Amino acid sequence: MKKNLLFLFVFSLFLTTNSQAGEVASYDYNNENLLLPIPNGFCNATEDLVGVFTMDYMNRQLSQGFDAHAPVIVFTRCGFEDDIEEMYPWGYIALAENSKPRLTQESINKMLDTFLDSSEMMQKLQEINDNATKNAISEYGMEFVSFGTDETMLAWTDENVAIVITTASYFLEGEKFTEISVNATTALKVLVNYNITDVKNGLTTPIENSSLLIDNSKLLVRMNK
């Protein structure tokens, strides 16, 4: 996937040089104790209403075959942990085994670049995930119709993280939504994936959330050396 040069130029203006630790969640995974910094401006909502709802929804997706890793932490804007109506932007942290031979950040970056360049693989993944989402939402008694993925791009890679931005549109109960998700993958002893999702023209932009997750990845790597 070729990087969008205009995006990178504008995006570089948002990058900060100093990362400051805010809330940090501790999580044990496969005998590894991980320190997971919550992105700046967000708070851990895992045990609050937004977290309970999101965990239930995503686990229903996974049970229907959605191709992703199970979330272990859910976060939302501070002060909105119990407000489902105002939960955007929200995010989660998911973990996966980094099996031997262990993947490096460089290999993760190259794999994502190759995968996102394959239209056939992307189309198949979209079909699987759309079907899983439709079935999961139907369990809540609602109707979901996907317009498909508008765009997926590998927006940034460095020694700490790979950033992938996905824009997708869908109808939910007859109302059209467009969501923009920013995914950040970091290769430690465990693969750590952060996601921040907002609606189009919402409170945040993909550039802001990407910059936030790049800063956060520096903390993540430093805390888990």
Q: Where are the domains of the chain?
A: 5-16+23-223
Is residue 208 within 8 Å of 163, Cβ to Cβ?
no
| pLDDT per residue as tens digits for the range 38-56 | 999 999 999 999 999 999 9
Closest CA to 141 of 49, 223, 60, 45: 60
75-108 exposure pattern, b = at least 16 Cβ within 10 A, e = fewer: bbbeebbeeeeebbbbbbbbbeebeeeebebeeb
| pLDDT per residue as tens digits for the range 162-210 | 999 999 888 888 888 899 999 999 999 999 999 999 999 999 999 999 9
Q: Is the pTM of this model over 0.85?
A: yes
- Secondary structure (3-state) at 15: coil
> Does 9 have pLDDT greater than 70?
no
Q: Which CATH number applies to 5-16+23-223: 3.30.1490, 3.30.310, 1.10.3470, 3.40.1000?
A: 3.40.1000
